[in-house]
Amino acid sequence: MLSYNQVAEAIENEGRRIGQLAEEIADCAANAAETEADYKLEVAKSRIKFRDDAAGRGVKVTVDQVDDHATLEASESHRAYLLARESLTAIREALRASQARLDGLRTLAAGYRQAGG
């Protein structure tokens, strides 16, 4: 069983951890937004270029062909975007877990105070 002083120290540590996670979320959110924009731009450019190249050769292409080509061309940026998005999700989950731990520690501290010790 933790003493009141140990609980108070754990509350301070968890509070610092939450601050660090909040900073990480801001960084990851910016990275996820940037990689998403890069991915969407690459897809759009690829679609336009594929259609223009096909039209220049007099070849008709289907929407599915254009989409397939764009998907292949942008696969690396799509992968980077998915990784950035999942990193953001993982850090958000870590923040929620840390907040839950902090809530539990605060409840424990309140119990100590009510018990007078």
The whole-number pLDDT of residue 2 equals: 85
- Cα(116)–Cα(100) distance, rounded to whole angstroms? 24
Residue 117 predicted with pLDDT over 80:
no
pTM over the 0.85 mark: no
Angle among Cα 76, 80, 82 to the nearest 5 degrees reads: 115
The larger pLDDT score, comparing residue 113 to residue 56, is at 56
Output the average pLDDT for the chain: 96
Residue 89, pLDDT > 70, answer yes
What is the share, in percent, of the chain residues with pLDDT greater than 90? 92
Number of domains within the chain: 1
Q: Using DSSP, state whether 15 is helix, strand or coil.
A: helix
What is the domain range of residue 100?
Answer: 4-115
Cα–Cα distance for residue pair 34/80, rounded to 1 Å: 10
Q: State percent of the chain over pLDDT 70.
A: 99
**Angle of CA points 48, 31, 75, to nearest 5°:** 40
What does the pLDDT look like over 15-44, one tens digit per residue?
A: 999 999 999 999 999 999 999 999 999 999
